[in-house]
Amino acid sequence: MSCPPPPPASLTLEQISWGDGILKPVSLSLGPGRVLAVLGANGAGKSTLLRLIYRYYKPQAGRVLLDGQDIHALPARAVAQRVAAVLQEQPTDFALTVAEIVALGRAPHRRALSGPSERDAHIVGHALQRLSLMEFAQRPFGTLSGGERQRVMVARALAQEPGLIVLDEPTNHLDIRHQLEVLRLVRGLGATVVASLHDLNLVQGFADDLLVLQDGCALAFGPVAEVLTPDLVARAFGVRAHPRGPAQFDFSLFDDMQQETSA
């Protein structure tokens, strides 16, 4: 059974803000199928921004538009059918198997009181296969390692068939091989993607566009090659960036450089 993938969504943020300066007004437009990485030091506002995008928070000002429509003017079910979120926090006490967790991604598409369809089963199996989770399908979710649980949550998002996927630090708990595999998979899904990352060197090859936050403010937004510069890294993270390739850096503290100079 083959099903056409859902169309990717467009995303527009119109001067959205939240909290007492936690996130100051941010505006951007992301075309269908674009991949946006969000970078910033701890406390910069990355997770708050993502929560506004997947409708966990409501902006105190501004609007989040999905395909031109305010997500808070849409039914929650309609948003759940188009937006999937993969979060840092992973529950460990679910008395469910891996396959059952992934099948939860189909819930927004089912009618009330209806059971899983043949199409649901096909989509869940496809998600398990793409994340290399078939051997874990009948394992209790709580018995998995942190990295394995993260892959399950990405598979659940894939089973949801969203037009927009929001990922909060998706490579947490993953070794370098699985970091690259998950980012490559997400990149190849065809959906529009917004992902916060902590490793600047993972941005190249994954994201089309980059938003850099500092203290709740947007420092820069645009194509990765134009935005990710040594000067911007210094401003956003307080470290000196030494280019070693396109959007690839080695880092040192400013104090270290001063010590080397005085020596």
**Structural domain count, the chain:** 2
Say how many CA atoms lie within 13 Å of 91 toward its Cβ: 9
Both 217 and 233 in one domain: the answer is no
**Do 171 and 255 belong to one domain?**
no
Strands 61-66 and 35-39: unpaired
Structural domain contains residue 54: yes
Asked if 173 and 263 sit in the same domain, the reply is no
Confidence of residue 129 (pLDDT cuts 50, 70, 90): very high
What confidence score (pLDDT) does residue 200 get? 84
pLDDT tens sequence across 53-101: 999 999 999 999 999 999 999 999 999 999 999 987 766 666 899 999 9
Comparing 39-53, 136-150, 223-237, 247-261, the range with the smallest average pLDDT is: 247-261
Same domain? 169 vs 243? no
Residue 110: inside a domain: yes
Q: Does one domain contain both 254 and 207?
A: no
pLDDT at 263 over 50: no
Residue pLDDT, tens place only, 198-222? 888 889 889 999 999 999 999 999 9
Sheet holding 192-196, edge to edge: 83-86, 164-168, 192-196, 35-39, 209-214, 217-223
* 48 compared with 251, residue with greater pLDDT: 48
Q: Are 210 and 39 in contact (CB under 8 A)?
A: yes
Region 1-9: mean pLDDT is 75
| 29 and 79 co-located in one domain | yes
Instruction: Bin 183: left if φ > 0, else alpha if -120 < ψ < 50, else beta.
Output: alpha
Task: Indicate if 223 and 240 belong to the same structural domain.
Answer: no
- Edge-first strand order for the sheet with 61-66 is 23-30, 11-18, 61-66, 69-70
Does the pTM exceed 0.75?
yes
- Binned at pLDDT 50, 70 and 90, residue 257 comes out as very low
Residue with tokens 């104090």: 255
CATH number at residue 208: 3.40.50.300
Residue 233 maps to a domain: yes
3-class SS of residue 225: helix
73 and 201 inside one domain: yes
Is residue 4 one of the residues assigned to a domain?
no
Asked whether 40 and 46 are in contact (CB, 8 A), the reply is yes
Does one domain contain both 137 and 170? Answer: yes
User: Average pLDDT, stretch 175-192?
Assistant: 88
Full domain range(s) for residue 248: 229-263
The DSSP line for 83-114 is: EEEE-S---S---SBHHHHHHGGGGGGSPTT-
Percent of the chain with pLDDT over 70: 91
Q: Is there a single domain that holds both residue 237 and residue 196?
A: no
- How many CA atoms within 13 Å lie on the side-chain side of 148? 17
Structural domain includes residue 6: no
Q: Is residue 5 part of a domain?
A: no
